[in-house]
Amino acid sequence: MKPRSHKQEAQVIVYDADRIQQPGPELFDAAHWEARSAVAGQAVGRGRTLLLETEYGPAVLRQYLRGGWPARLSRDLYLFTGYQRSRPLAEFRMLAGLSDMGLPVPAPLAALCARQGLRYRGWLLLERILQVVPLADLIMERADDDSLWRRCGAVIRRFHAAGVVHADLNARNILVGQGPAVHLVDFDRARLAANDAAAFRANLARLRRSLEKLWPAPLRDRLEGCWKHLEGGYAQADGDG
């Protein structure tokens, strides 16, 4: 990966120069991709996330949008405190670094911070991981798959060993592929904090709350066993490291 940046007027684009040679704001314009019949679908979640088929490969285009009470003030405008501190550029840098470390994340393609006075709007274009399903959608059919839960724990431990604190580790941000592959996604507001045991415990506690909320009532008796297997995979990876 070869991160580069391009500034034009009040907009800054960061991009992977190994894959994109001439980045422009059209990369982040839904109408641009719709006109090229490149929109393959739309992901469920807060705001609009487009699934694209691009010349750079399958991709995801996500606009940064607010939820909760801040959305009453503005859905898509954030306080500007510098381009490099903006959420899209920060997440691009985080994903670029994690990709270079060989961690299972989607590789970033480009990010845009578009300043408007004291505020900005942001977008992120990233690689789309194919043939994966959120862990949240597999609970019913994979509650008895002990190896799956151990793999999830082991992958989380790899990120913690690298000092990564995920800001929203939940069952929808863990993607399970065919075979042994497990990926983590959504690194908005993630940070690096080596050996921050309290932060890592908080990550796991957040994931546990997510699973408790999503767990099907008929399988309630399996929750504790699955969680113990996840913790076992986490501890095993810790011992291996």
Q: Give the three-class secondary structure for 60.
A: strand
Q: Is 76 known to be catalytic? A: no
**Residue from 7, 45, 24 nearest 110 by CA:** 24
Angle, in degrees to the nearest 10, between helices 146-161 and 223-240: 40
Residue type, 151: R
What's the Cα-to-Cα distance from 199 to each of 85, 94, 109, 142, 148, rounded to whole Å? Answer: 21, 17, 29, 28, 24
Catalytic residue among 168, 188, 196, 238: 168
User: What percent helix, strand, coil does the chain show, rounded to 5?
Assistant: 40, 25, 35
Catalytic machinery residues: 168
